[in-house]
């Protein structure tokens, strides 16, 4: 079912929107010549009698942008069953300069709140523009007819920095389910909670290799796929790759995927190692001569043995997937040689430290390094961050949305997982966290800056060098833990 939407415009300033600005049923042309051109009427998606999404497109032209530069405000009126619901909220949409010719606005609404997200279409996306800052606007407006939200609660436990700012609010608005959201930055922490049982969480996000052994331990509920219609958007090839760890994808669906590579401060590394700095190689980190020269500007390592040791083995020319004790020990030996130059082991702090210039090299997860780059560029602090997938190879991993077997609210968990696979929601998440997703239908809405970055969506020749994670048994786990403790404590 569609509702009719009508728009009026006001230019430049955040003026109050008066109902008289819009004739009933007509979109009033902009009175101010600085205003951008026409806004089309729009359609709304109505679910169970409630408007959930409003779509409209508007065309703008470069000359308009140059003339007005600061943007415009939009008045939204929603006509439902012959009556306008007045939304007396103006939104200033700011334009970057550049060849931006079209924007799409999507509004999520429940009886209490309305939020607005604005996004460029990928084709006209201008590289290097801070679109998220300028165009991602969330506003809330009170409207009448509010039915009380149901007292349903969902507990989500996810990696830090792994969804867009407004994802949870949008889910709450769309479903009326209240979300408690906690974060972690290590599979080991998640695993300890899950194995202890009764974590209280309804949705968790394990990496697929950890998930495999957790499935064997009976930690997860099977997904009820009839409650996940958005599964149809998922890329069959990537889901098949994840199915190596979870046959038939019975227990999880991909939230995001990525690689573990090198994040570095371009200038500081160049200052210390010159133009020939091997930023395309694990040698940047694992060659002690390089690490020594970078120690003063700060080297960080992920606090994750299953990430660091295989990378060291890969640099040594050993099989990174090996579970052989000697191989693991050789990897640990190499890490020990650079250990004196490592400032800290941590799996999330490096985002802000890299962005602020407080460290100059880290082993890091693709999207997190890109978030650091984005934060630095938004702060305009002169820090330039690079990410590289080393030429020797790198780990490719999949993080899965899954439901613990003892989840208190499995029904809401399915709703959440389905919501996360909504193409627009997935795109918003990727646009915010800079991780690749596996949702084919989302790609048109993902910023071209992201889909076009080979560090996020690697080309085939790079993909060929990626390895997938090993599922370690208890015995190998113990070896790794012992080696890791030795490395960290310097013993
Ligand atoms: C998000 C980190 C997730 C990557 N901050 C680890 N699999």
**CATH code, domain carrying 426:** 3.40.190.10
pLDDT of residue 141: 24
Specify the higher pLDDT residue, 363 or 15: 363
Same domain as 477, residue 341: yes
Same domain as 238, residue 214: yes
pLDDT of residue 62: 33
pLDDT of residue 136: 26
Same domain as 405, residue 376: no
Specify the higher pLDDT residue, 490 or 160: 160
Same domain as 383, residue 271: yes
Least confident of 129-138, 165-174, 306-315: 129-138
pLDDT of residue 138: 25
Q: Does residue 305 lie in a domain region? A: yes
pLDDT of residue 90: 25
> Which pLDDT band, with edges at 50, 70 and 90, does 84 fall under?
very low
Q: Does residue 51 lie in a domain region? A: yes
Same domain as 390, residue 405: no
Q: For a pocket test of ligand 1, which of 245, 258, 307, 395 has the largest count of ligand atoms closer than 8 A to its C-beta? A: 258
18 pLDDT exceeds 90? no
Same domain as 271, residue 364: yes
Give yes or no for a contact between 90 and 75, defined as CB atoms under 8 angstroms apart: yes
pLDDT digits (tens, 9 = 90+) for 389-398: 999 999 999 9
Same domain as 474, residue 349: yes
124-127 contacts at long range (C-beta below 8 A, 24 or more positions apart)? 124/99, 124/100, 125/100, 125/447, 125/448, 125/449, 126/96, 126/98, 126/99, 126/100, 127/448, 127/449, 127/452
Same domain as 387, residue 274: yes
What tokens does 275 get?
Answer: 């133009």
Same domain as 166, residue 127: no
Ligand 1 centroid to Cα of residue 103, in Å, is 30
Final residue of a domain: which of 135, 166, 193? 135
Q: Which residues contact residue 255 at a Cβ distance below 8 angstroms, ignoring those fewer than 6 apart?
A: 158, 162, 205, 399, 400, 401, 420, 437
271 pLDDT exceeds 60? yes
pLDDT of residue 77: 42
- d(Cα 370, Cα 380) in Å, to the nearest integer? 15
- d(Cα 373, Cα 128) in Å, to the nearest integer? 12
Ligand 1 centroid to Cα of residue 307, in Å, is 12
Q: Does residue 141 lie in a domain region? A: no
Atom of ligand 1 at shortest distance to CA of 348?
5
pLDDT of residue 316: 98
pLDDT of residue 442: 85
Same domain as 420, residue 343: no
- 111 φ/ψ angles, rounded to the nearest 5 degrees: -60, -15
List pocket residues of ligand 1, CB cut-off 6 Å: 159-162, 207, 365, 368, 397, 399
Same domain as 244, residue 170: yes
Q: Does residue 352 lie in a domain region? A: yes
Specify the higher pLDDT residue, 125 or 6: 6
- d(Cα 344, Cα 488) in Å, to the nearest integer? 9
Q: For a pocket test of ligand 1, which of 310, 346, 365, 432 has the largest count of ligand atoms closer than 8 A to its C-beta? A: 365
Ligand 1 centroid to Cα of residue 185, in Å, is 7
pLDDT of residue 169: 86
Would you give the distance in Å from CA 50 to the centre of its chain?
28
Q: Does residue 36 lie in a domain region? A: yes
Atom of ligand 1 at shortest distance to CA of 207?
7
Average pLDDT, integer, range 14-32: 29
- d(Cα 292, Cα 289) in Å, to the nearest integer? 5
Average pLDDT, integer, range 278-307: 98
CA-CA distances (angstroms) from residue 115 to 40, 79, 153, 161, 244? 20, 18, 21, 21, 39
Percent pLDDT > 70 in the chain is 69
> Which pLDDT band, with edges at 50, 70 and 90, does 446 fall under?
confident
Ligand 1 centroid to Cα of residue 368, in Å, is 7
What is the span of the domain harbouring residue 128?
4-135
Ligand 1 centroid to Cα of residue 451, in Å, is 18
> Which pLDDT band, with edges at 50, 70 and 90, does 27 fall under?
very low
pLDDT digits (tens, 9 = 90+) for 177-224: 999 999 999 999 999 999 999 999 999 999 999 999 999 999 999 999
Ligand 1 centroid to Cα of residue 205, in Å, is 9
- d(Cα 181, Cα 192) in Å, to the nearest integer? 18
pLDDT of residue 67: 35
Specify the higher pLDDT residue, 31 or 358: 358
The average confidence (pLDDT) of the chain is 77
pLDDT digits (tens, 9 = 90+) for 475-490: 999 999 999 999 999 8
Determine which residue's CA is closest to atom 2 belonging to ligand 1.
159
Specify the higher pLDDT residue, 266 or 148: 266
386 pLDDT exceeds 50? yes
Same domain as 127, residue 36: yes
Specify the higher pLDDT residue, 440 or 63: 440
User: Closest Cα to residue 477, out of 305, 235, 292, 264?
Assistant: 305
Determine which residue's CA is closest to atom 3 belonging to ligand 1.
159
Q: Does residue 443 lie in a domain region? A: no
Least confident of 34-48, 155-169, 372-386: 34-48
- DSSP lists the bridge partners of residue 256 as 399
- d(Cα 58, Cα 72) in Å, to the nearest integer? 12
106 pLDDT exceeds 80? no
Specify the higher pLDDT residue, 171 or 9: 171
Q: Does residue 68 lie in a domain region? A: yes
> Which pLDDT band, with edges at 50, 70 and 90, does 76 fall under?
very low
pLDDT of residue 222: 98
User: Edge-to-edge strand order for the sheet containing 102-109?
Assistant: 83-93, 72-80, 4-11, 42-47, 50-59, 102-109, 114-120
69 pLDDT exceeds 80? no
Q: Does residue 294 lie in a domain region? A: yes
Domain total of the chain: 3
Final residue of a domain: which of 78, 101, 135? 135
pLDDT of residue 225: 98
Per DSSP, 369 falls in state H
Q: For a pocket test of ligand 1, which of 157, 158, 162 has the largest count of ligand atoms closer than 8 A to its C-beta? A: 162
Per DSSP, 452 falls in state T
pLDDT of residue 443: 86
What is the pTM (predicted TM-score) of this model?
0.74
């Amino acid at each position: 079912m569609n509702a009719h939407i009508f728009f009026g415009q006001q230019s430049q300033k955040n003026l109050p929107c008066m109902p008289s600005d819009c004739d009933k049923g007509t979109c009033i042309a902009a009175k101010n010549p600085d205003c951008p051109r026409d806004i089309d009427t729009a359609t709304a998606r109505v679910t169970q009698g409630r408007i959930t999404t409003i779509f409209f497109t508007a065309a703008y032209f470069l000359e308009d942008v140059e003339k007005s530069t600061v943007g415009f405000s939009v008045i939204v009126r929603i006509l439902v069953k012959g009556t306008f619901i007045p939304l007396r909220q103006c939104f200033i949409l700011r334009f970057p300069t550049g060849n931006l010719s079209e924007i799409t606005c999507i509004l999520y609404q429940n009886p209490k709140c309305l939020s607005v997200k604005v996004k460029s279409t990928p084709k006209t996306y201008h590289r290097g523009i801070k679109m998220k800052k300028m165009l991602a606007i969330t506003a809330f407006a009170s409207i009448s007819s509010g039915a009380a939200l149901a007292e349903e609660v969902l507990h989500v436990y996810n990696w830090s920095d792994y969804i867009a700012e407004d994802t949870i609010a949008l889910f709450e608005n769309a479903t009326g389910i209240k979300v408690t959201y906690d974060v972690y930055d290590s599979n080991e922490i998640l695993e300890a909670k899950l194995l202890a049982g009764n974590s209280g969480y309804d949705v968790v996000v394990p990496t697929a290799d950890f998930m495999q052994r957790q499935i064997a331990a009976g930690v997860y509920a099977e997904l009820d796929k009839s409650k996940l219609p958005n599964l149809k958007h998922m890329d069959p090839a990537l889901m098949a790759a994840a199915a190596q760890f979870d046959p038939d994808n019975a227990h999880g669906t991909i939230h995001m995927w990525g690689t573990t590579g090198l994040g570095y401060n371009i200038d500081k590394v160049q200052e210390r190692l010159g133009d020939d700095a091997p930023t395309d190689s694990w040698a940047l980190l694992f060659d002690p001569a390089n690490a020594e020269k970078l120690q003063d500007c700060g080297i960080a390592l992920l606090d994750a043995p299953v990430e660091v040791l295989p990378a060291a083995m890969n640099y040594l020319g050993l099989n990174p997937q090996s579970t052989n004790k000697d191989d693991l020990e050789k990897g640990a030996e190499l890490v020990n040689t650079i250990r004196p130059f490592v400032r800290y082991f941590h799996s999330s702090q490096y985002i802000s430290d890299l962005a602020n210039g407080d460290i100059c090299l880290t082993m890091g997860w693709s999207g997190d390094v890109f978030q650091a780059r984005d934060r630095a560029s938004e702060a305009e602090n002169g820090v330039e961050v690079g990410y590289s997938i080393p030429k020797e190879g790198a780990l490719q991993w999949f993080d899965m949305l899954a439901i613990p077997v003892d989840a208190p609210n499995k029904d809401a968990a399915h709703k959440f997982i389905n919501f996360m696979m909504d193409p627009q929601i997935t795109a918003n998440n990727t646009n915010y966290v800079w991780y690749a997703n596996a949702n084919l239908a989302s790609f048109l809405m993902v910023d071209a800056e992201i889909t076009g970055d080979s560090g996020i969506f690697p080309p085939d020749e790079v993909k060929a060098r990626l390895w997938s994670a090993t599922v370690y048994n208890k015995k190998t786990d113990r070896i790794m833990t012992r080696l890791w403790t030795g490395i960290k404590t310097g013993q």
